[in-house]
């Protein structure tokens, strides 16, 4: 899933301080699952804004709405007749949401309520970890099912580097050295020799470095 | 085994608390019951009491009386006596007399619960009862203390109507007295009721001086010592002296008490009023009947029971419980009543009068505006204006369609009023309403409503300032919350007909056997490698029956019982679920088993406090009492080599670390001392004590010990005995002798330390089963009160030392009682679950696993077939964590909705948030 975190409330109120009618817009997709943008968080943020409004003597009207997803136009359509009622929309979906809303409703003022962090998963309740960098050419099978692109600080294809110590990365002791883990796992699987083989430099043309990406599947396009 | 049992009804003789409790238990188990009471009303002794210690539960009697009267399987026969019982077990013919009419009743078993009477002190000159106007019995005093009594709760002197400023209680009137009263035994309850009366007196007027003249302060029950300590803190004065004479001033009618103080000096003190703490006698009617039938009677004139079968009389098929088998308090009587049900069930199959009626299926509240009935119950002694004010206020609140003051039969009155007003919700106000929860649910069911459509108002803890406003706030809030209630889903869950007993000591094994002999499979779990627990060092019972022979017999009965699966070396690892359907993971040295069971009995025992004082652990002459007992079983000759034995009482008990009294240590010391003396009369035996608490009939052992020459020396807690190594290789015990008023030195070969019994080992199991423990680590009884065998969680019962220190015979009674409570549950085919349960709205669920991860009880899971999370209402504990955490707001709890949480405070604060 796409993992996001809420923007600080100070930053949010700074964004919307000149508006009177604000819609908080949630998404039932990834951001619900990572506990940042679902119906509950919509309610919590809306309440926080109302409290702020009262404390600062503003006559705020805060609406709450949660869409099935903010990354499909059909669901964005649901806001027709709603968006016009508000001066501003705070989307607490990932970065896709506010853009889809802005594109569909060109006059609306749309603000992001969360910072989109990474593609990853929950390793435990309340702890998320990056797993995918979206490089466009998946290589995890070479590395015991672990991705050095997303999980190595240097995205090394031939690791570990000299900064690996006690299974930790030199950039921070909290950061796991994925190459240490890869080596251990490959050893366990009796495939260490596969790591001896040199991996040529990766082509980054399929990644963000190749410019903004889009994808067309002809068989699905009418 | 079951097929061989005859079927029959049961006659219960005596309509006091023991008889009522037994009748209800029997009816629940399917028996038709004749409840025979010689007076004009059920209730026995309890209605004449003013409050009950340590926690008052007077209000629990009326609903029980009402339940007996309405139960189609209980025929209450008032003003009725039993004239004869003939026949044999399974086929008794009981002749009863009501007025002039004789009737013959056919029953399969008889339970004598005829209770007790109080001693009449009129014949004893020195108390001058009936002669001096201001000398009252304790029963009379409680009557005038009662707010509903003849003086509306205002205590006045009979001589002049003046409120007394100084009151004395005299203990042991008609107890522990062979000269004047012919009652060698201790009546067991009087110390506590005198303390209660004194504390209640202080509650009414803190300035009244209260003094209790006593011999030994016997606070040997659960919570009693703590009550005693609180009484002392309140300024209740204790004087250790047996009063000989009460003199009356002819003019003022004041009373002068002449007594010897602890220094032996004669003292005279004036009092306005003297209360005689009269002792107990078994019901004369029952004793006469027993004599006619040749039932065994003890030398103290109580009904005799069989060794290790504390509810069985000497005639099979005739059982006994409560005060007629020995001086009992209310709690013990209730325990015995339950135990008697188990005993009867063991030999008689139930024959009902009629099948139990079923409640109508609950209807949903109408869609329109909520219609609320406001009902309230006032304890006696509560300000009547409080009720009127509440009623008036409630009538003006939106949604309230009617009010009701409940007095007596709660279920019937509330259900009728609900129907009369067409109400669909209930708000109920009383002191500690949680204790009435079951009755409220019954009332709603009887009215055809969902049983959870109720909110409560607690009338407790109102501060005197602004009480009216506080009360109005609470009432307004409850009414507002009630309006937000929507009926939770109800689900019938089949009862798993299997029991889990945790703890393989005497209590655990007795419970398991009582359950198994009714045909239910039982898993008996013991953490040690063998069964037996503390039973392994039980030498004898207090009345001298062989403990080890009993234990061997018990072990072989458990072994032979094919329905019992014994798992030794096994601990409980995890428990989930709900009364009727528990799921428990058991860990036998790393190997895990999962067990589903309908009920649980916790009989996890207790541990002796291991002292660091008195040379324990460093001198071979110093024993823990359990070690001495074990030594007397395995190697008695070594013990009898001793020329001098010293017992030290209250080691670690009744102090700061363990404030409670461990109940059985005095009796243990005296029993052992008597046996040592009997075997070796020349042995010097000393017992160093604080109060001798040989309560009830155990008192005769104390007398016997003194007769045999055991020397008792009382010590004060701030001047404890000293134990030092002696040059002779033994130990030297130094103790201050209060009569000689100087220290005495005893050269002892053997010192036995009667240490505190503490519940420190219960924490783990209590947490697993989510039951509460008290500060001493013993299991707490149900908040419903007067349910001494129920823990704070439904379907989990307690027995033995885990509940509180008690001797083996009391443990056996408790174990069988707990089994009877469990049997009531197992007899049901299904339990209805619902109420405070979380429910997933599938359409809103994002299957994010938040609930799965946050539930402390591991209940929710993602159900592939639903495409959503699922929370089993039977397993849900209603904590609400998933409801709060669900990021999609897909989990709701209809008893505690967001609307309610948001809406009710607005009502309280009288604001309306946009």
pLDDT attached to residue B88: 94
Interface predicted TM-score (ipTM) of this complex, two decimals = 0.86
Chain Cα centroid distance, residue A206: 19
Interchain proximity B887–A33, CB inside 8 Å? yes
Q: Is residue B282 within 8 Å of residue B324, measured between CB atoms?
A: yes
The answer on A26 and A106 residing in a single domain is: yes
Query: Cβ contact (<8 Å) for B846 and A122?
Result: no
Residue B383 predicted with pLDDT over 90: no
* Same-domain status, B127 and B266: yes
pLDDT band at B804 (very low <50, low <70, confident <90, very high): very high
Q: Is the Cβ pair A38, B889 closer than 8 Å?
A: yes
Consecutive H or E run containing A188: helix A178-188
pTM to 2 decimals? 0.82
Nearest by CB to residue A39, choosing from B854, B888, B914, is: B888
**B751 and B766, same domain (yes or no):** no
Which DSSP state fits B531? S
B365 is a domain residue: no
Q: Which pLDDT score, from 0 to 100, does residue B368 have? A: 74
Residue with the two structure tokens 């660091």: B612
Q: Is the pLDDT assigned to residue A148 strictly greater than 60?
A: yes
Residue A154 lies in a domain: yes
Interface test with A, best of B844, B847, B850 (most A CBs within 10 A): B850
Q: Is residue B898 part of a domain?
A: no
Is the Cβ of B901 closer than 8 Å to some Cβ of chain A?
A: no
Q: Is the pLDDT of residue B306 over 50?
A: yes
Do B596 and B628 sit in the same domain of this protein?
no
Q: B838, exposed or middle or buried, with CB in 10 Å at 0-12, 13-18, 19+?
A: buried
According to the model, what pLDDT value does residue B365 have?
64
Q: How confident is the model at residue B735 (pLDDT cuts 50, 70, 90)?
A: very high
Q: Nearest to residue B413, comparing CAs of B401, B400, B403? A: B403
Q: Do the chains contact at B853 and A41, CB–CB below 8 Å?
A: no
Rounded distance between C-alpha atoms, residue B650 and residue B656, angstroms: 12
Q: Which residues contact B578 (CB under 8 A, 6 or more apart)?
A: B493, B794, B795, B831, B833, B874, B875
In this structure, the answer to whether residues A33 and A98 fall within a common structural domain is: yes
In this structure, are A109 and A147 located in the same domain? no
Name the residue among B551, B545, B454 with its Cα closest to residue B506: B551
CB under 8 Å to A211, separation ≥6 — which residues? none
Q: What is the mean pLDDT of chain B?
A: 92
Beta-strand relationship, B209-214 and B237-240: parallel
User: Which 8-state DSSP code applies to residue A200?
Assistant: P
Q: Kind of pairing, strands B80-88 and B91-98?
A: antiparallel
Are residues B582 and B625 both part of a single domain? no
Q: Are residues A74 and A7 in the same domain?
A: yes
| Model confidence pLDDT, tens digit, residues B631-658 | 999 999 999 999 999 999 999 999 988 9
B216-246 tens-digit pLDDT: 999 999 999 999 999 999 999 999 999 988 9
Same domain, B379 and B475: yes
Query: What is the least distance, in Å, from the CA of B875 to any CA of chain A?
Result: 22
DSSP secondary structure, B453-519, as one string: -EEEEE-SS--STTHHHHHHHHHHHHHHHHHH--PPP-EEEEPP--EEEE--SHHHHHHHHHHHTTT
In a domain, residue A126? The reply is: no
One-character DSSP codes across B202-215? HHH-TTSEEEEEES
- Strands of the sheet containing B318-320, edge to edge, are B74-77, B33-36, B10-13, B109-112, B318-320
Of B846, B853, B854, the CB nearest to A32: B846
- Pair B288, B200: CB distance under 8 Å: no
- Percent of chain B scoring above 90 in pLDDT: 75
Is residue A220 in a domain? no
Q: What is the mean pLDDT of residues B344-362?
A: 80
- Asked if residue B344 is part of any domain, the answer here is yes
Q: Is omega for the bond preceding B807 within 30 degrees of 0, making it cis?
A: no
3-class state of residue B852 by DSSP: helix
Task: State how far the alpha carbon of B668 is from the alpha carbons of B245, B629, B813, in Å.
Answer: 34, 9, 19
Determine the pLDDT at residue A222: 74
B854/A35 Cβ within 8 A: no
Number of compact structural domains in chain B: 6
Residue B356's pLDDT band (cuts 50, 70, 90) = low
- The contact set of A with B (CB < 8 A) is 28-29, 32-36, 38-41, 43, 50, 122, 124-125
The torsion angle over the Cα atoms of residues B55, B60, B62 and B65, rounded to 10 degrees, is: -130
**B902 chain-A contacts, CB cut-off 8 A:** none
Q: Rounded mean pLDDT of chain A?
A: 95
Per the CB < 8 A criterion, the answer to whether B529 and B685 are in contact is no
Per-residue pLDDT tens digits for B409-437: 888 899 999 999 999 999 999 888 888 88
Residue B525 in tokens? 């779990």
pLDDT score recorded for residue B95: 95
- In B, residues 836-855, which contact A (CB 8 Å cutoff)? 844, 846-850, 853-854
pLDDT at A195: 94
Question: Tell me: the pLDDT tens digits for B838-877?
Answer: 999 999 999 999 999 999 878 899 998 999 999 988 778 8
pLDDT in tens, B92-118: 999 999 989 999 999 999 999 999 999
Q: Which of B439, B466, B489 is the last residue of a domain?
A: B489
Q: Which residues of A touch B853 (CB under 8 A)?
A: 124-125
Q: What is the CATH number of the domain that holds B465?
A: 3.40.50.2300
Sorting pLDDT into bands at 50, 70 and 90, what band is B364?
low
Question: Which residues from B are below 8 Å from A41, CB to CB?
Answer: 887
pLDDT surpassing 60 at residue B911: no
Mean local confidence (pLDDT), A121-149: 95
Residue A167 lies in a domain: yes
- The answer to whether residue A145 sits within a structural domain is yes
Q: Are residues A84 and A29 in the same domain?
A: yes
**Which pLDDT belongs to residue A94?**
97
Q: Quick check: is B911 in a domain?
A: no
B263, B146: one domain: yes
Per-residue CA distances from B273 to B92, B120, B165, B772 (Å): 50, 18, 8, 42
Judged by CB atoms closer than 8 Å, whether chains meet at B888 and A38 is answered as yes
pLDDT tens for each residue of B582-636: 999 999 999 999 999 999 999 999 999 999 999 999 999 999 999 999 999 999 9
Distance from the Cα of residue A42 to its chain's centroid? 17
Between β-strands B570-578 and B742-748, what pairing exists: parallel, antiparallel or unpaired?
unpaired
> For residue A39, what is the nearest residue in chain B, using CA coordinates?
B888
A188 and A142 housed in the same domain = yes
Tens digits of residue pLDDT in B438-492: 889 989 999 999 999 999 998 876 666 777 888 888 999 999 999 998 888 888 8
The residue range of the domain holding A196 is: 133-209
User: What CATH number did the domain enclosing B881 receive?
Assistant: 3.30.70.20
Q: Is residue B697 over pLDDT 50? A: yes
Nearest-Å Rg of the Cα atoms of chain B is 29
Nearest Cβ partner for A32 among B848, B853, B885: B848
- A15 and A113 both lie in a single domain: yes
In terms of domains, do B277 and B287 share one? no
Q: Clarify whether residues B744 and B625 are in a common domain.
A: yes
Please tell me the total count of domains within chain A.
Answer: 2
Task: Locate the chain A residue with the closest alpha carbon to B855.
Answer: A125
Same domain as B643, residue B633: yes
pLDDT on residue B464: 67
Q: What is the predicted pLDDT for the residue at B224?
A: 94
Nearest to B353 by CA among B38, B105, B63, B104: B105
Residue span of the structural domain in which B817 resides: 499-606+759-827
Predicted local distance difference test score (pLDDT) of residue B244: 81
- Give the distance, in angstroms, between the CA of residue B843 and the centroid of all CA atoms in the same chain: 48
| pLDDT confidence of residue B877 | 81
Query: Quick one: angle between helices B138-145 and B190-204, nearest 10?
Result: 30
The pLDDT of residue A81 is above 90: yes
Distance CA B704, CA B585 (A): 50
B785 DSSP assignment: S
Q: A14 with A50, same domain?
A: yes
Question: At B248, which CATH number?
Answer: 3.50.50.60
- Torsion angle of the four alpha carbons B672, B678, B680, B682, in this order, in degrees rounded to the nearest 10: 100
Last residue of a domain, one of B291, B320, B350: B350
In a domain, A21, yes or no: yes
Diameter of chain B by CA atoms?
91
Residues B685 and B784 in one domain: no
Instruction: Give the gap in angstroms from C-alpha B854 to the nearest C-alpha of chain A.
Output: 8
Longest CA span, chain A: 69
Residue B585: its pLDDT value, please?
96
Q: Cβ separation of B888 and A40 shorter than 8 Å?
A: yes
Shared-domain flag, residues A9 and A105: yes
Query: In this structure, are A27 and A112 located in the same domain?
Result: yes
* One domain, residues B139 and B162: yes
- The CA distance from A183 to A185, in Å, is 5
Give the domain CATH number at A68: 3.40.50.2300
* B467, B527: one domain: no
Same domain, A17 and A114: yes
Q: Are residues A55 and A144 in the same domain?
A: no
Query: With the CA atoms of B567, B569, B574 and B579 taken in that order, what torsion angle do they form, in degrees rounded to the nearest 10?
Result: 30
């Amino acid at each position: 899933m796409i993992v996001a975190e809420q923007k600080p409330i100070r930053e949010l109120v700074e964004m919307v301080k000149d508006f009177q009618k604000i819609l908080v817009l949630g998404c039932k997709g990834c951001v619900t699952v990572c506990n940042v943008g679902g119906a509950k968080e919509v309610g919590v943020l809306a309440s926080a804004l109302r409290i702020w409004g009262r404390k600062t003597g503003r006559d705020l009207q805060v609406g709450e709405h949660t869409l099935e997803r903010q990354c499909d136009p059909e669901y964005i359509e649901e806001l027709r007749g709603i968006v016009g009622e508000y001066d501003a929309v705070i989307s607490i979906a990932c970065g896709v949401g506010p853009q889809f809303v802005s594109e569909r409703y060109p006059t609306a003022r749309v603000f992001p309520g969360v910072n989109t962090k990474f593609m990853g998963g929950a390793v435990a309740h309340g702890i998320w970890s990056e797993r995918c960098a979206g490089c466009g050419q998946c290589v995890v099978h070479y590395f015991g099912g672990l991705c050095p692109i997303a999980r190595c600080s240097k995205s090394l294809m031939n690791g570990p580097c000299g900064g690996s110590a006690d299974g930790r990365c030199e950039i921070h002791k909290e950061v796991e050295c994925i190459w240490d883990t890869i080596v251990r796992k490959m050893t366990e699987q009796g495939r260490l020799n596969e790591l001896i083989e040199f991996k040529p430099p990766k082509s980054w043309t399929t990644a963000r470095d190749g410019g903004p990406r889009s994808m067309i599947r002809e068989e699905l396009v009418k | 085994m079951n097929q061989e049992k005859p079927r029959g009804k049961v006659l219960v003789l005596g309509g006091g608390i023991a008889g009522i409790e037994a009748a209800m238990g029997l009816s629940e188990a399917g028996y038709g019951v004749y409840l025979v009471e010689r007076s004009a009303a059920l209730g026995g002794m309890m209605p004449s009491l003013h409050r009950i210690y340590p926690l008052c539960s007077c209000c629990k009697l009326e609903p029980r009386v009402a339940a007996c009267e309405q139960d189609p399987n209980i025929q209450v026969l008032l003003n009725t006596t039993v004239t004869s019982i003939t026949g044999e077990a399974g086929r008794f013919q009981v002749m009863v007399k009501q007025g002039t009419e004789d009737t013959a009743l056919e029953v399969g078993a008889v339970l004598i619960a005829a209770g007790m009477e109080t001693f009449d002190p009129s014949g004893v000159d020195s108390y001058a009862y009936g002669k001096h106007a201001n000398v009252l019995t304790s029963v009379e005093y409680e009557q005038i203390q009662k707010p509903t009594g003849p003086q509306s709760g205002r205590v006045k002197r009979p001589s002049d109507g003046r409120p007394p400023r100084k009151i004395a209680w005299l203990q042991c009137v008609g107890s522990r007295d062979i000269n004047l009263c012919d009652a060698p035994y201790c009546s067991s309850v009087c110390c506590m009721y005198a303390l209660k009366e004194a504390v209640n007196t202080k509650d009414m007027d803190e300035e009244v001086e209260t003094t209790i003249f006593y011999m030994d302060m016997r606070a040997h029950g659960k919570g009693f010592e703590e009550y005693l300590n609180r009484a002392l803190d309140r300024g209740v004065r204790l004087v250790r002296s047996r009063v000989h004479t009460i003199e009356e001033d002819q003019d003022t009618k004041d009373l002068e008490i002449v007594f010897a103080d602890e220094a032996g000096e004669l003292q005279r003190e004036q009092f306005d009023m003297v209360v005689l703490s009269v002792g107990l006698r078994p019901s004369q009617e029952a004793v006469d009947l027993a004599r006619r039938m040749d039932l065994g009677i003890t030398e103290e004139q109580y009904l005799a029971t069989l060794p290790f079968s504390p509810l069985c009389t000497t005639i099979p098929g005739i059982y006994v419980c409560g005060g007629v088998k020995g001086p009992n308090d209310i709690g013990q009587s209730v325990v015995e009543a339950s135990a008697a049900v188990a005993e009867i069930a063991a030999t008689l199959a139930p024959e009902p009068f009629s099948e139990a009626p079923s409640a109508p299926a609950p209807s949903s509240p109408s869609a329109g505006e909520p219609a609320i009935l406001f009902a309230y119950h006032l304890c006696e002694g509560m300000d009547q204006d409080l009720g009127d004010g509440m009623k008036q206020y409630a009538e003006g609140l939106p949604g309230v369609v009617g009010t009701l003051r409940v007095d007596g039969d709660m279920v019937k009155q509330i259900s009728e009023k609900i129907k009369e007003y067409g109400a669909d919700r209930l708000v109920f106000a009383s002191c500690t309403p949680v204790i009435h929860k079951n009755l409220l649910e019954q009332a709603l069911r009887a009215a055809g409503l969902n049983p959870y459509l109720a909110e409560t108002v607690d009338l407790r803890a109102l501060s005197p300032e602004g009480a009216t406003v506080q009360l109005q706030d609470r009432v307004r809030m409850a009414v507002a919350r009630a309006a937000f209630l929507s009926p939770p889903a109800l689900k019938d869950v089949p009862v798993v007909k299997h029991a889990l007993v945790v703890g393989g000591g005497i209590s655990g094994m007795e419970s398991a056997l009582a359950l198994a002999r009714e045909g239910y499979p039982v898993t008996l779990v013991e953490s040690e490698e063998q069964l037996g627990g503390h039973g392994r060092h039980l030498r004898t019972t207090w009345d001298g029956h062989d403990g080890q022979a009993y234990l061997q017999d018990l072990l072989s009965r458990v072994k032979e019982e094919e329905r019992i699966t014994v798992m030794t070396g096994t601990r409980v690892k995890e428990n989930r679920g709900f009364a009727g359907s528990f799921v428990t993971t058991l860990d036998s040295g790393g190997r895990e088993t999962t067990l589903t069971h309908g009920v649980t009995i916790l009989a996890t025992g207790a541990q002796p406090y291991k002292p660091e004082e008195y040379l324990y652990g460093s001198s071979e002459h110093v024993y823990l009492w359990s070690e001495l007992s074990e030594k007397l079983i395995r190697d008695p000759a070594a013990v009898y080599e001793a020329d001098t034995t010293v017992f030290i009482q209250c080691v670690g008990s009744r102090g700061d670390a363990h404030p409670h009294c461990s109940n059985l240590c005095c009796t243990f010391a005296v029993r052992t001392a008597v046996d040592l003396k009997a075997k070796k009369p020349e042995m010097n035996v000393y017992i160093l004590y604080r109060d001798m608490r040989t309560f009830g009939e155990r008192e005769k052992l104390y007398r016997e010990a003194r007769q045999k020459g055991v020397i008792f020396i009382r010590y004060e807690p701030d001047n404890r005995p000293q134990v030092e190594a002696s040059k002779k290789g033994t130990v030297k015990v130094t103790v201050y002798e209060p009569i000689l008023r100087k220290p005495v030195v005893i050269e002892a070969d053997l010192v036995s330390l009667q240490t505190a019994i503490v519940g420190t080992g219960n924490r783990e199991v209590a947490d697993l089963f989510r039951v509460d423990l008290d500060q001493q680590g013993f299991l707490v009884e149900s908040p419903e009160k007067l349910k001494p065998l129920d823990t704070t969680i439904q379907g989990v019962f307690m027995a033995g030392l885990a509940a509180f220190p008690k001797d083996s015979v009391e443990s056996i009674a408790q174990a069988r009682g707990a089994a009877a409570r469990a049997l009531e549950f197992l007899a049901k085919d299904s339990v209805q679950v619902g109420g405070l349960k979380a429910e997933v709205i599938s359409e809103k669920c994002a299957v994010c696993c938040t609930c799965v991860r946050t539930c402390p009880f591991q209940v929710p899971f993602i159900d592939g077939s639903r495409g959503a999370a699922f929370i089993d209402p039977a397993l849900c504990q209603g904590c609400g964590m998933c409801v709060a955490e669900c990021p999609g707001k897909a989990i709701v709890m209809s008893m505690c909705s967001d609307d309610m949480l948001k809406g009710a405070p607005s009502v309280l604060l009288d604001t309306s948030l946009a």
